[in-house]
Structure 1
């Protein structure tokens, strides 16, 4: 009996030892996920799925790491393995819903989330990860949609009734409220989480992030320091601190230089604490884009692209950095690699925007315009692409096309300055005057030009000389039949003369413009009105302003010669 009892006790001890090792290992993996040490977490979890293949949680957390990294196909594989291990694994259905959400499959996300919640029972963790699933950002989305945040809040509030002391649930509830700028609700949730678990590093950092959004730099930094007091190796605290430094630098020019340096130092500490994984460095790339440090971004991504296991997303960042650094050829190569291999679900509007910019910068204008318009099709908030197209076309003397692009910009963005409307008018005017053999149909360009400048005249608080002068040019161009001059430009030249003559001092360029206005009036008086006295008066005023004007010289030469002849 003693021997049997001893064997039984040994077996029990082994069970407890095995359970302890499993629990500790899973806890370590979850801690690594919270610390954004994804490589370490994956290594631990892959080992657990091998040594503990019947534990559905192991597959879930491994799948969740893949979700965090955007590898939804790999994530789904793990969640399905978890369900195979335990068909009633609610949390793995939550994972499938989150993966579907990342893939922009709204129906699939809802179906899996609903199934997860129907099976959850009293397990608040399922509610946590359904809530987190709604808060994950699909490709091309820079912020949580209000509908997703509200869906997360609804789920998490239900989870709170099941377990009001789940610190992770409370932090996630705070995140959901913060996503729609419900600061008071977010602060209450984070505070509740810290009451439940005073050692929650994620809650401390989350509350610091809340203070950052309120531009309370001191309170934010105190929370990051508090998190690092709990765990000096908690990398996300340094990342959030770096992002706070950067925001403060943007808000206060007096400390900008010092805070940017602090931001870089803190981000380096974050990288060192997150096992320098590729994913951590890609997050660093996001930070560099926001900071506008494209020189460092190109250096970092160039090195990353040389690694055998380089994430394809590196080429997106490399393309952006190279464009901003005017390294257009290398930028186009990198962006083409990303666009051709990433797959449609991973390509976003901003990718087409930079592809278009790179194509246009390397001379492939037609392709560039197609790409930039594709960016607008994917994201209609990017109507500014038409302004970029307009300026590019104008610089390359494609004036009529530039005018159309300006018009698209005004129509689609519902905004535009008076200067931009003026530029559209000039573009259409040059679109006509630079044509080698304009046809009668091309006069529509002059009509568009005059319409644009008329708009500026109506909206301007006072008359603008150049607007009046170009309307004169446009209407003079319309008056094409020199044998039957109608004087369409006359009222505009008269207005211009009145405006400019009232100025006490004129620059040399303005004198030349005013002289040309008097020349026009002289021509009208001489040939249309047959009033030689007024013609002579106009030409004499033009001569005072610009004696070298060719038409002035010709007039007086003609008149002098005529007098001698008589």
Structure 2
């Protein structure tokens, strides 16, 4: 993608104000944060912390920018500076609590949140940011807020309402908390309250648009984004949410997919042009490209970002993902190894191990790859699909018992398991059984037959392959043809019925011949019915002249018909 260049400041403007940074205030910094112009906000705030070192708010908002950009260590340093500037700084204690919460240090989070509330007095902002902190999802770490976090956010924000019910940011945050739990009516109430308090709030209008987006009410969502843009034509988040709405629209209505994907890309380019084109805003674009499945553009964008002097290590995650999807496994493995080895445990997400495992397997490092896929599941048990990938790998390597176990685990733990997966489980266990080994595990046959039986009892129409494999499984018990028991007889008969009813094809003939040959042997030795034996062996020979059982039968001379 051709990235839009930054707009240069006119030299004439600098003559009158001396320095654009020095003329900017905390209000300008807050506006930049809302507009996701994080580099601009940091520039203003770094200057303010130097020129106004006793104002703790300056430190808080700088720390907040670091927090939402996933630089929690830097944020903690700045929040502590804010506490030094003002030991009773409710906002900076709130910031320290948020960082501790993100670091899963619950005791420190609670302690700092308590200090924030104790020092808040009649200021509702500490409540706002504690609430936002509970809702904060660091980049790449999922899209769903845990119910416990959402409830904690609602509780503290509700307390904030008692302090100042007219705080627009507080009402929007409450709406976000309810929306995160799909409580749309409650969310709409607080978003509407925010708009009523300040009809010119671009943030609140965009929030309502996002609510409509998740309700798949795309037309009304677009109207809200357009309204926000009419309020502030340079409000980038409106274009970003519009882009993500168009993408969701494309996925929901396939007929409009091509048009909406293009519009989404255009809206995102507009969003980027209105931000400061920082590494962080471009990484958010990278997240959008993952959502859109545009891995070609992602790889190009990530490669460009990786060459920047200010590269965020997270770029290597995008390089790894995109390289895998584009078949560039060596480059992908190098990138993922760099990311996982250097990022630190707090920044690693389950999907990172998923892609590492895929890249390792694609690079011939199967055992390491399977370990990585299992690690992805250990970190996130919703990633049960990894067992399907593990099973396919084992099956391809002819490690059939392990493949069967992996398919069984996938079926048990995933909601996506279907009858095809049961079939793969059954065939894996069947192939794992070694009939030449006198100590062969007969439980493998039991597991195989159980999988096939499930399909037989669940499928709406009979499946020939299932009947055939059930016959194969039971046929293994009848290898002593002189003392045949007929375990496989009903399954071979079922197979013959299914195939002959639908019409025999060339592909069916060899297996059909084997079924008739088994029945011939059954009637020859078990029933002593020479007529039926000859009839079945004749059918086997007609279908497959090379069938060894039929050849052997006729080589000896078919017995006279009749018992």
> Normalised by the size of structure 2, how large is the TM-score?
0.91
Change (3 A) 1:499 1:540: same
CA RMSD of aligned residues (A): 2.1
Match of 2:118 in 1: 118
Change (3 A) 1:233 1:209: same
Change (3 A) 1:513 1:132: same
Q: Return the alpha-carbon distance in structure 2 between the equivalents of residues 23 and 128 of structure 1.
A: 28
Aligned ranges 1:518-529 → 2 under 5 Å = 518-529=516-527
Query: Of 498, 505, 508, which aligns to 1:507?
Result: 505
Q: Return the alpha-carbon distance in structure 1 between the equivalents of residues 402 and 27 of structure 2.
A: 62
Say which one has the larger Rg. 1
Q: CA deviation at 1:411?
A: 2.7
Aligned ranges 1:393-472 → 2 under 5 Å = 393-413=394-414, 416-433=417-434, 438-472=437-471
Q: Which moved more, 1:478-487 or 1:46-55?
A: 478-487
Match of 2:62 in 1: 62
> Normalised by the size of structure 1, how large is the TM-score?
0.91
Match of 2:249 in 1: 248
Q: CA deviation at 1:198?
A: 2.1
Q: CA deviation at 1:44?
A: 0.8
Change (3 A) 1:554 1:439: closer
Change (3 A) 1:499 1:257: closer
Q: CA deviation at 1:480?
A: 3.6
Match of 1:553 in 2: 551
Change (3 A) 1:504 1:260: closer
Q: CA deviation at 1:350?
A: 0.9
Q: Return the alpha-carbon distance in structure 1 between the equivalents of residues 73 and 26 of structure 2.
A: 23
Which ranges of structure 2 fall in alignment gaps of 5 or more residues? 1-16
Q: Which moved more, 1:507-516 or 1:228-237?
A: 507-516
Match of 2:9 in 1: none
Match of 1:200 in 2: 201
* Contact 1:288–1:294 (Cα < 8 Å) also in 2: yes
Q: 1:175-225 deviations in whole A, cap 9, x for unaligned?
A: 112111222222222222222222211111111111212222222112212
Q: Return the alpha-carbon distance in structure 1 between the equivalents of residues 453 and 293 of structure 2.
A: 39
Match of 2:72 in 1: 72
Match of 1:11 in 2: none
Match of 1:355 in 2: 356
Q: CA deviation at 1:119?
A: 1.2
* Contact 2:22–2:47 (Cα < 8 Å) also in 1: no
* Contact 1:443–1:478 (Cα < 8 Å) also in 2: no
Residues 1:379 and 2:377 aligned together: no
* Contact 1:446–1:478 (Cα < 8 Å) also in 2: no
Match of 2:491 in 1: 492
Q: CA deviation at 1:226?
A: 1.6
Q: Return the alpha-carbon distance in structure 2 between the equivalents of residues 504 and 148 of structure 1.
A: 57
Match of 2:29 in 1: 29
Q: 1:45-87 deviations in whole A, cap 9, x for unaligned?
A: 1111111111111110100000010111100100000001100
Q: Return the alpha-carbon distance in structure 2 between the equivalents of residues 542 and 441 of structure 1.
A: 30
Q: CA deviation at 1:140?
A: 2.8
Match of 1:43 in 2: 43
Q: CA deviation at 1:504?
A: 5.7
Change (3 A) 1:538 1:286: same
Q: Which moved more, 1:140-149 or 1:50-59?
A: 140-149
What secondary structure, in the 3-state scheme, does the structure 2 residue paired with 1:198 have?
coil
Q: Return the alpha-carbon distance in structure 2 between the equivalents of residues 552 and 376 of structure 1.
A: 51
Match of 1:91 in 2: 91
Q: Return the alpha-carbon distance in structure 1 between the equivalents of residues 428 and 39 of structure 2.
A: 55
* Contact 2:62–2:78 (Cα < 8 Å) also in 1: yes
Q: Return the alpha-carbon distance in structure 2 between the equivalents of residues 339 and 282 of structure 1.
A: 17
Q: Return the alpha-carbon distance in structure 2 between the equivalents of residues 479 and 537 of structure 1.
A: 21
* Contact 1:134–1:151 (Cα < 8 Å) also in 2: yes
Q: Return the alpha-carbon distance in structure 2 between the equivalents of residues 253 and 416 of structure 1.
A: 25
Q: CA deviation at 1:414?
A: 6.0
Q: CA deviation at 1:392?
A: 2.1
Match of 1:477 in 2: 476
What secondary structure, in the 3-state scheme, does the structure 1 residue paired with 2:347 have?
coil
Q: Return the alpha-carbon distance in structure 2 between the equivalents of residues 331 and 22 of structure 1.
A: 44
Q: Return the alpha-carbon distance in structure 2 between the equivalents of residues 483 and 549 of structure 1.
A: 18
* Contact 1:70–1:102 (Cα < 8 Å) also in 2: no
- Greater helix percent: which structure? 1
What secondary structure, in the 3-state scheme, does the structure 2 residue paired with 1:345 have?
helix
Q: CA deviation at 1:415?
A: 5.9
Q: Return the alpha-carbon distance in structure 2 between the equivalents of residues 218 and 454 of structure 1.
A: 49
Match of 2:7 in 1: none
Q: Return the alpha-carbon distance in structure 2 between the equivalents of residues 550 and 370 of structure 1.
A: 45
* Contact 2:357–2:371 (Cα < 8 Å) also in 1: yes
Change (3 A) 1:478 1:364: farther
Q: Return the alpha-carbon distance in structure 2 between the equivalents of residues 263 and 299 of structure 1.
A: 18
Match of 2:293 in 1: 292
Match of 1:220 in 2: 221
Match of 2:192 in 1: 191
* Contact 2:483–2:525 (Cα < 8 Å) also in 1: no
Q: 1:384-416 deviations in whole A, cap 9, x for unaligned?
A: 111111122222322221101011112323663
Q: CA deviation at 1:453?
A: 1.5
Q: 1:306-347 deviations in whole A, cap 9, x for unaligned?
A: 112211111111111111112111111111111100111111
What secondary structure, in the 3-state scheme, does the structure 1 residue paired with 2:433 have?
helix
Q: Return the alpha-carbon distance in structure 2 between the equivalents of residues 89 and 237 of structure 1.
A: 32
* Contact 1:294–1:321 (Cα < 8 Å) also in 2: yes
Q: Return the alpha-carbon distance in structure 1 between the equivalents of residues 90 and 502 of structure 2.
A: 83
Q: Return the alpha-carbon distance in structure 2 between the equivalents of residues 269 and 347 of structure 1.
A: 30
Change (3 A) 1:23 1:477: same
Q: Return the alpha-carbon distance in structure 2 between the equivalents of residues 37 and 98 of structure 1.
A: 21
Q: Return the alpha-carbon distance in structure 1 between the equivalents of residues 474 and 192 of structure 2.
A: 70
* Contact 1:428–1:445 (Cα < 8 Å) also in 2: yes
Q: Return the alpha-carbon distance in structure 1 between the equivalents of residues 263 and 417 of structure 2.
A: 38
What secondary structure, in the 3-state scheme, does the structure 2 residue paired with 1:215 have?
coil
